[in-house]
Chains A and B, each alone.
Chain A
Amino acid sequence: MTFSTATWIVPLLPLGGFLFNFLFGRGSRRLVPRVALLAVGSALALSLVLAAQVLGDPAPKVDGIPWLSVTNQVFGHFTISVGTLLDPLSAMMLVVVTLVSFLVHLYSLGYMSEDPGLARFFMYLGLFTFSMLGLVVSPNLFQMYIFWELVGLCSYLLIGFYTTKPEANQACKKAFVVNRVGDLGMFLGILFLSYYLGTSDFSAIAAHLGSWPLFGPAWLPLGAVALLLFCGAVGKSAQFPLHVWLPDAMEGPTPVSALIHAATMVAAGVFMVARVYAVFDASLMGSVNAPLVVACVGGFTSLFAATIACTQFDIKRVLAYSTLSQLGYMVMALGAGGLGVTAGAFHLFTHAFFKALLFLGAGSVIHAVHSNDVRAMGGLRRKMPLTGITFLVASLAISGIWPFAGFFSKDMILAALKDAHMTGLYVLAAAVAFLTAFYMFRLYFLTFEGKEPEHGHPHESPWTMTLPLVVLAVLSLGAGFAGLDFGGRSFGSYIRFDRSPTLASDWTRAQGLALAHPKAVGDYRLATALWAAPALPPTAATGLPAPAPATIPPAQESRAFVLDYSVAVPATLLGLAGIFLAFGVYRLKWIDPGRVARALGPVYTTVYNKYYVDEFYRWMMDHVYYVVSGAIAWFDRHVVDGVMNGLALLMQVAGGALRRLQTGRAQAYALAMLGGILILLGALKVFVP
């Protein structure tokens, strides 16, 4: 079996499981989960084999069949393919997705065992796993968009899994619509990119970018296209200002929050940006600095969400804001370029494990105490030792304490920001590291330490739920070491961004062509022909000004990652300080957090109410969108239709008036005939010479 065949099979396994369950499962509570588990388990095994192969041979392998093909004057045949792309990035994602999915399937056996919708739940999980794997192996942007929407559908179905719950219905609709806003931008980006580059294949985008100024009209800078694509990531990875759906998405069952809304789907935005990073990088030559925007959006989101996380009392919501914040971290890293691309992907990798662990741990707690409110919890570590310890491991990992996984990835992000001389964001990232440690241990101490609430008898969860916790805890402890150098090989030696060496010279040549052939700008066919021609006419012969040589800042070196103590030590100290503060406030009760909140007054209220962003959108929907909608409906009923009815009325009235002419008297008819003949004769006299 070749690489490519095997890569096809990985997503098809969970699809096969889903189809089998859909057609033959008959909602069986025994059969359906087993088939689903078997399917995703085999996908995991195959992914691991593939990943091992890729470690030996990291060259990208592409395969595909035409999915849609249309004759077209510009392209000859315009074809969209579906297929697979296997390279280190997709191999890493395959492993993360299948592994977390498998563990979540296993966990759900216990967590959902009482739920009447068990079979439906496992079918949705299978469909999601298929869609996510299809997204991960996409060789082009169109296929990525297709699966991007499909994972959105699964997210919608799973957030709204408890269909009778009004909050869940509201939340799933919100998630879909907010994501659609981002997808609109992404679709436009794909449209522009595929038109002006003539391709949307990831393997070809980088090579075509140098000619963008020739193909792309002047009003459409490459940076704008990069930012449109980024809109998709802002939606899917829940960055400000489209972050509002993710906290509400916690209405879904907790295993779903772990799989979709923490570890895999929400990371798709980060994955997508990493995939097309060449577009963002090339925009540095133009007037829009896309990477800087990306970094700022990510940085802002990470701080914004971290502050909210410090104030919430719903255990899942705290984790949701933490996810926002961590995704912001990844996005910020991507914006730094160079090492940042590796760092963003690496943080995606480690975060998937410890955040899935946190959610599954939270699920275990909720399963035991039947509440989401941390104020109703406490002292649970003694009742649920495995859950407690694994939750502690994950908290240490996300706080960036050595040797847990988060330490390495967070450190790599900080190093990348330092490399890129983004001092402001560096300070911000450090502050977020402090806040992260604080709110995570606030959560830990409130939930697992201190006094137990009087009522209820919490107990440890069954093995199907604790085994995934343990596996993820091991990974949260060990995965970080993948970032280190092993004889010249490390995470960063496989997953990295390298700028095309001919980018600047291509750009210069394209500018020259555009100057010499203004008509080619925006005309794909002409531009391609010119680009393919061997050389430019000499500038002197054409009498045109020579193009200015392209300027692009040198690429950040995507260097190997080594621990830099000047970064690691302060960051770790900040993390420890956050833990210490949480310990002081929530364990030793040095300070009463309620008093602090009261002292902060409106500041606290604003943060507690999530800066009123949701209220703003609600207001916009109710007072702008639905008003416009109502106005259009009214206009259609009364004005457009009114004109039609008016015409009909006019006909009726005219008909009624004309009817009177039919008097039935022969004299009147004869008179009319005479008049008609006279008029006709007169007309003949005038018009016919």
Chain B
Amino acid sequence: MNAFPILSAIWLAPFVTGLLIMAFVPDTRIQAIKWLSLGASGLSLLLTVWLLAQFDYGRAGQLQFAERFSLVPSLGVEYHLGADGISLLMVVLNSLILFTGVLASWGLKHRGKEFFVLLLLLGGGVFGVFTSFNLYVFFALYEVAVLPMYLLIGIWGTGPKEYSAMKLTLMLMGGSAFLLLGILALYYGSTPHTLDIFELNKAAMAGQFSPGFQKLWFPVLFLGFGVLAALWPLHTWSPDGHASAPTAVSMLHAGVLMKLGAYGCLRVAIFLLPAGAHFWAPLIAVLALVNIVYGSIGAAAQTDLKYVTAYSSVSHMGLVLLGLATLDTLGMNGAVLQMFAHGIMTGTFFALIGMTYGRTHTRLMPKLGGLAQVMPFIAAAYVIAGMAGLGLPGLSSFPAELLVFLGAYFTQDLFFKVVAVIALTSIVFTALYVLRVLQKTFYGPITEPHYKELGDATLVERIPVVILITVMVLVGVYPFPVLRLIDGGLIAVAQTLGSLPR
């Protein structure tokens, strides 16, 4: 065990800073609040980099930096943090998005204190979920991550924000209700009763969960997490929620929170109920296929930039779910990499849409046009993010999508091969809607005379975009190291599923 509890430090840095700001910093000191927020998220980012350097890549499958002590021994409630390759990658994603999200909110004027406090609490909670291996703490922090959304959208949002916030929160809480049931079932199904993810996995491997039990509870857990991962038809909170949310919240929400859902599907549902996963995988694959194709075709009919991105998220998250449903290492590697790639990409998208909206005060494509002439940086970055969206090689989404398609086709099951072939058609549909956005928004003649006076991105605005795009390019050009992390982390899952020998 490490002497320094680095994982606790990572999640507590923003979380405690948030609480301290709430308690001690008056809301008139907005500049101090911003710098404190940036400092806290920056500290997490630095610690994450240190984590990456200290991590033993050869043992990516094992929990490293573990911290463990008991909270309520009689109920098996423990504070158990740790990171395997997958957790580590998700922590990297969250620290990037949180840091860039704070930067993207630099210009916020309305009730800044509450906003940054909620943002930090949310970000801290997400770190905690990705590194918790006891379901009690996992679930508690999961809720911490979900609940601030309501206020963040309801207060700082745009458009029908109250409706969107309410819908999003209710749907996600509905999912959580399922989760709570599922977690209780796992607790009572295991002997001795435990809430530890690895203990539960051992219980599953030892056959303590009967096939009937698994078939019953797998969909409960998977759907519970699936709501957050925008599994069709439970995705409808996402277009409204993303569209109404302020920039940083959209970034965190699409960039990280949706991954929380997919992470839960993998870490809890699939890892703990392997027989259930095998039973329900074809259905999930079909729903994921609907996500992929329906989302990508539906995106072409949208006129609001945020709605386009939201539907593209539905489509891209479908790829994550399809990869998971293959229950094969290739596909699951693709799924986890896609979680990362999609997080970085949508983060970039929403940051850029925020900048565009901040200048033009509209997100409707029919009113936009020719913006590349006045804001070349934003346009160029949007082109790059768009290219990542349509799976262009050299950017991080390509290896992810490639692995999902390979994984789906390389299963021995003809059904999955057919799904893979149909899912592949989305690469054409995706190209259509992505290029349509670029054409209507950035190219062509300038549509409104006053757009000519608009300026390009400022330095503070450029930093987050440059960071995200750099990561996008690095991972896309050479995905080998990242895949080592994921692959190592997935070995235990694959062994549970029987797709790799133990």
Contacts and interface: CB of A to CB of B under 8 A. Distances in A.
B52 interface: no
Given A70-B333, A71-B494, A146-B393, A180 B431 contact: yes
B49 interface: no
Given A163-B372, A176-B431, A632 B301 contact: yes
B405 A633 contact: no
B297 A629 contact: yes
A494 B301 CA distance: 52
B362 interface: no
B171 interface: yes
A599 to B, nearest CB: 41
B223 to A, nearest CB: 14
B329 A164 contact: no
B329 A66 contact: no
Contacts of A169: 439, 443-444
Contact of B491 (A71, A147, A643): A71
A68 B487 CA distance: 11
A150 B394 contact: yes
Interface in A162-212: 163-166, 169-170, 172-173, 176-177, 180-181, 183-184, 187-188, 191-192, 195
B329 A195 contact: no
Given A176-B435, A640-B233, A68 B301 contact: no
Contact of A164 (B445, B484, B487, B499): B445
A648 interface: yes
Interface residues of A, number: 54
B288 to A, nearest CB: 16
A633 B373 contact: no
Interface string B416-450: 00001100110110011001101100111100000
Contact of A170 (B167, B393, B439, B494): B439
A235 B403 CA distance: 24
B167 A644 contact: yes
A600 to B, nearest CB: 37
B276 interface: no
Contact of A626 (B233, B301, B390): B301
A68 B410 contact: no
Interface stretch (B23-31, B97-105, B146-154, B475-483): B475-483
Interface stretch (A72-80, A105-113, A389-397, A495-503): A72-80
B300 interface: yes
A590 interface: no
Contacts of B480: 66-69
Contacts of A564: none
A163 B440 CA distance: 11
Nearest to B294: A632
Nearest to B421: A188
Interface string A536-569: 0000000000000000000000000000000000
How many chain B residues sit at the interface, stated as a range, is 35 or more
Given A67-B478, A72-B329, A644-B171, A633 B410 contact: no
A630 B298 CA distance: 7
A166 B494 CA distance: 51
A342 B478 CA distance: 36
A145 interface: yes
A688 B239 CA distance: 52
Contacts, number: 143
A625 interface: yes
A640 B230 CA distance: 13
Interface string B383-411: 00001001011100011001101100110
A523 B414 CA distance: 11
Contacts of B84: none
B170 A630 contact: no
Contacts of A150: 392-394
B500 A73 contact: yes
A160 B167 CA distance: 41
B328 interface: yes
Nearest to A630: B301
Contacts of B479: 67-68
A641 interface: yes
A625 B433 CA distance: 12
B330 interface: yes
Contacts of B427: 180, 183-184, 187
Contact of A78 (B330, B370, B372): B330
A154 B333 CA distance: 29
Interface in A621-664: 625-626, 628-630, 632-633, 636, 640-641, 643-645, 648
Contacts of B402: 68, 142
B302 interface: yes
With a 10 A CB-CB cut-off, give which of A71, A522, A626 has the most chain B CB atoms: A71
A271 B438 CA distance: 31
Contacts of B436: 173
A373 interface: no
Contacts of B406: 78, 191
Given A71-B494, A153-B392, A195 B373 contact: no
B62 interface: no
A572 B420 CA distance: 51
Nearest to A149: B393
B236 A164 contact: no
A192 B479 CA distance: 23
Contacts of A180: 390, 427-428, 431
A641 B294 CA distance: 14
A177 B399 contact: no
Contacts of A160: 443
A170 B436 CA distance: 9
A184 B392 contact: no
A626 B298 CA distance: 9
A564 B171 CA distance: 77
A23 to B, nearest CB: 12
A153 B435 contact: no
B289 to A, nearest CB: 14
Contact of A632 (B297, B393, B398, B490): B297
With a 10 A CB-CB cut-off, give which of A72, A142, A172, A645 has the most chain B CB atoms: A72
B439 A629 contact: no
B435 A72 contact: no
B443 A164 contact: yes
A636 B298 contact: yes
Contact of A173 (B239, B330, B405, B435): B435
B412 interface: yes
A77 to B, nearest CB: 9
Contacts of B333: 70
Given A150-B392, A184-B424, 20 more contacts: A68-B483, A69-B480, A72-B329, A73-B328, A73-B329, A78-B330, A149-B392, A160-B443, A163-B372, A163-B442, A166-B444, A173-B435, A176-B435, A187-B424, A191-B424, A632-B301, A640-B232, A641-B236, A644-B237, A648-B167
The 4 closest A-B pairs by CB, nearest first: A633-B301, A146-B393, A629-B301, A629-B300
Interface of B: 167, 170-171, 232-233, 236-237, 239, 294, 297-298, 300-302, 328-330, 333, 370, 372-373, 387, 390, 392-394, 398-399, 402-403, 405-406, 409-410, 412, 414, 420-421, 424-425, 427-428, 431-432, 435-436, 438-439, 442-445, 478-480, 483-484, 487, 490-491, 494, 499-500
Interface of A: 66-74, 78, 142, 145-147, 149-150, 153, 156, 160, 163-166, 169-170, 172-173, 176-177, 180-181, 183-184, 187-188, 191-192, 195, 522-523, 625-626, 628-630, 632-633, 636, 640-641, 643-645, 648
9 contacts: A69-B484, A70-B329, A71-B494, A73-B499, A74-B410, A145-B393, A146-B394, A173-B435, A626-B300
